[in-house]
Chain A
């Protein structure tokens, strides 16, 4: 089962901030969910390795240039932009 520390590491990996008041509730939820996932432990598996859901191969694009979007469109949904760049303000380091 997951420990509190593991859950916090997991959250860091998933780039989620867990507040102190949420951690116990989330821990309880995760316990249940992982226990639920553990049902597969007892399952025996076939020898057939799963490859991909549609068994397709070699679907390609030709190397032909298509028009890029305008800079304006690309930046349209960004919160902060500057001189054609996406901008992030930060006091510290990245």
Chain B
């Protein structure tokens, strides 16, 4: 999609302004039903589009992402533009600086259409903990778009953004990408700068693209993965993903770990097996690997993520930004009331769990133990990658949930992250790629997991899959902007 738009812009078949207006009217038509965008930045988008058109008219060279209408998850800071994390706690908050990824994309001429819906502070798997209500699945509005980057997936899946950036702490890019029939890349920890990403769990968070193709994901990844001085943990990419998209895959090995299939729906399992056949046809060897250490990944993830979250979210006290409670006797009470009014239930639960596992008396049994298990999970992956170049696994054991289903039982909902969290724990890259539809016509995704900084190879494998299956797992949605008429 990105290179197609780029081609149209370059050939002057359409101006950036016309393009952006098409998207804005698409949003106007569909967003009410989808709730993908929580804050439209139409004026800003139009200004940016005019700037791009000027730049193009001057004959200046422009990159692939220039002029591409896109969206950002609402936890990515945008200077002067509301960044709320879909929480009442950050209502009307306008950052005074840009996140590094947005600074880069903005500099390159990408056009921000609006900020996308998400689970409150990225805590959730259905987008329904958002204070604005959940984003709907573009393939069937009775189902969720997934979470936490649900708004981005909903918008891109519905064709009302060409691509978007989400963040993935335990699957928040891959799971909604899978639910909405899109490509979602969770980069290696440290490949993309987190500066400006409102922190949920700092040792797990990564920003990544949600796109309609592996190629688009590669284009965006190449742009946003750079060494950033503002993030001490960020080292950038090893190599360009675009440059390796069409590399030969013959002779590569894909690993299958039975541990990923323990509680997977039959439709999902069947489609993954069919995908394996496609890879076999490419001359890729399928090998068995074993990952016993991921058995405890889920509780390990929730312990570490919540511990870090309890600390990261301590700063919301109503003093420097955000709303403040009105009635209080003293500052302690002001802070407690502000936080209780500002945070939703899921956020509170996670803060409490995080506080619990770090508190004296429980630290060793939970936080410390989880860190040790994290070590063995990393080790387990290291061993598996001695035998294969990538591991293929379901992204989610199921397809999209029905609206409202995820909010009933928090622990049950946590279980649906079982396939996505190991990657975050180990800091690995993984890409979710559409591989079919279940009996109800809902998209199914598979994820390719690789060693650290193997994004280029993963996207190459995904690209080959798309090509061999003739992109038959990508569906246009009514009301979307696809530019087929041009």
Q: Which residues of A contact B (CB under 8 A)?
A: 2, 7, 10-19, 26, 29-30, 32-41, 43, 45-46, 48-50, 52-54, 56, 59, 61, 69, 73-74, 76-80, 86, 88, 90-94
Chain B 375-404 per-residue mask, 1 if CB under 8 angstroms from chain A, else 0: 110110000000000000000000000000
Tell me, in angstroms, the Cα distance from A40 to B297 when the chains sit together: 9
Residues of the B chain whose Cβ atoms lie less than 8 Å from the Cβ of A50 = 371-372, 374-375, 378
The smallest C-beta distance from A54 to any residue of chain B, in angstroms, reads: 5
- Asked whether B320 lies within 8 Å of A29 as measured between CB atoms, the reply is no
Tell me, in angstroms, the Cα distance from A7 to B352 when the chains sit together: 8
Q: Which 4 A-B pairs have the closest CB atoms?
A: A77-B321, A50-B375, A92-B330, A17-B340
Also in contact, A10 and B352, with CB within 8 A (given A43-B369, A46-B379): yes
Contact segment of B43-51, B283-291, B343-351? B343-351
- Asked whether B343 lies within 8 Å of A16 as measured between CB atoms, the reply is yes
- Asked whether A86 lies within 8 Å of B320 as measured between CB atoms, the reply is yes
Which of B301-351 touch A at CB < 8 Å? Answer: 302-303, 310, 314, 317-324, 328-337, 339-340, 343, 348-349, 351
The smallest C-beta distance from A2 to any residue of chain B, in angstroms, reads: 7
- Asked whether A36 lies within 8 Å of B329 as measured between CB atoms, the reply is no
B150 in contact (CB, < 8 A): no
Q: Which residue of A lies closest to B93 (CB)?
A: A77
Partner of B410, one of A29, A61, A94: A29
The smallest C-beta distance from B409 to any residue of chain A, in angstroms, reads: 8
- Asked whether A45 lies within 8 Å of B189 as measured between CB atoms, the reply is no
A12-B336, A29-B410 given; 18 more Cβ-contact pairs under 8 Å: A14-B352, A15-B314, A26-B349, A36-B414, A37-B303, A37-B357, A39-B298, A40-B366, A45-B372, A48-B379, A52-B203, A53-B203, A54-B190, A54-B235, A78-B319, A79-B319, A79-B324, A80-B324
Also in contact, A39 and B296, with CB within 8 A (given A49-B372, A88-B319, A93-B330): yes
CB<8 Å pairs between A and B, sample of 10: A16-B351, A30-B356, A37-B299, A46-B375, A54-B233, A59-B232, A76-B94, A77-B94, A91-B330, A94-B330
Tell me, in angstroms, the Cα distance from A78 to B328 when the chains sit together: 18
Q: Which residue of A lies closest to B94 (CB)?
A: A77
- Asked whether B96 lies within 8 Å of A56 as measured between CB atoms, the reply is no
- Asked whether A30 lies within 8 Å of B371 as measured between CB atoms, the reply is no
Tell me, in angstroms, the Cα distance from A69 to B320 when the chains sit together: 15
- Asked whether B348 lies within 8 Å of A26 as measured between CB atoms, the reply is yes
Chain B 394-438 per-residue mask, 1 if CB under 8 angstroms from chain A, else 0: 000000000000000111001000000000000100000000000
B353 in contact (CB, < 8 A): yes
B108 in contact (CB, < 8 A): no
Q: Which residue of B lies closest to A61 (CB)?
A: B229
Residues of the A chain whose Cβ atoms lie less than 8 Å from the Cβ of B378 = 50
- Asked whether B319 lies within 8 Å of A33 as measured between CB atoms, the reply is no
- Asked whether B329 lies within 8 Å of A91 as measured between CB atoms, the reply is yes
Residues of the B chain whose Cβ atoms lie less than 8 Å from the Cβ of A78 = 319-321
How many interface residues does B have (CB within 8 Å)?
A: 66
- Asked whether A14 lies within 8 Å of B310 as measured between CB atoms, the reply is yes
- Asked whether A15 lies within 8 Å of B335 as measured between CB atoms, the reply is yes
Q: Which residue of A lies closest to B325 (CB)?
A: A17
Tell me, in angstroms, the Cα distance from A54 to B190 when the chains sit together: 7
Residues of the B chain whose Cβ atoms lie less than 8 Å from the Cβ of A11 = 352
Tell me, in angstroms, the Cα distance from A54 to B427 when the chains sit together: 8
B486 in contact (CB, < 8 A): no
- Asked whether B349 lies within 8 Å of A41 as measured between CB atoms, the reply is no
Tell me, in angstroms, the Cα distance from A72 to B336 when the chains sit together: 27
B199 in contact (CB, < 8 A): no
- Asked whether B375 lies within 8 Å of A49 as measured between CB atoms, the reply is yes
Residues of the B chain whose Cβ atoms lie less than 8 Å from the Cβ of A10 = 352, 355-356, 359
The smallest C-beta distance from A13 to any residue of chain B, in angstroms, reads: 5
Residues of the B chain whose Cβ atoms lie less than 8 Å from the Cβ of A69 = 96
- Asked whether B351 lies within 8 Å of A77 as measured between CB atoms, the reply is no
Which of A16, A30, A35, A49 is packed against the most chain B CB atoms within 10 Å?
A16
Q: Which residue of B lies closest to A59 (CB)?
A: B232
The smallest C-beta distance from B200 to any residue of chain A, in angstroms, reads: 15
Q: Which residue of A lies closest to B188 (CB)?
A: A54
Residues of the B chain whose Cβ atoms lie less than 8 Å from the Cβ of A80 = 324
Chain B 58-92 per-residue mask, 1 if CB under 8 angstroms from chain A, else 0: 00000000000000000000000000000000000
Q: Which residue of A lies closest to B348 (CB)?
A: A16
Residues of the B chain whose Cβ atoms lie less than 8 Å from the Cβ of A61 = 229
Partner of A40, one of B203, B299, B333, B349: B299
Residues of the A chain whose Cβ atoms lie less than 8 Å from the Cβ of B411 = 32-33, 35-36
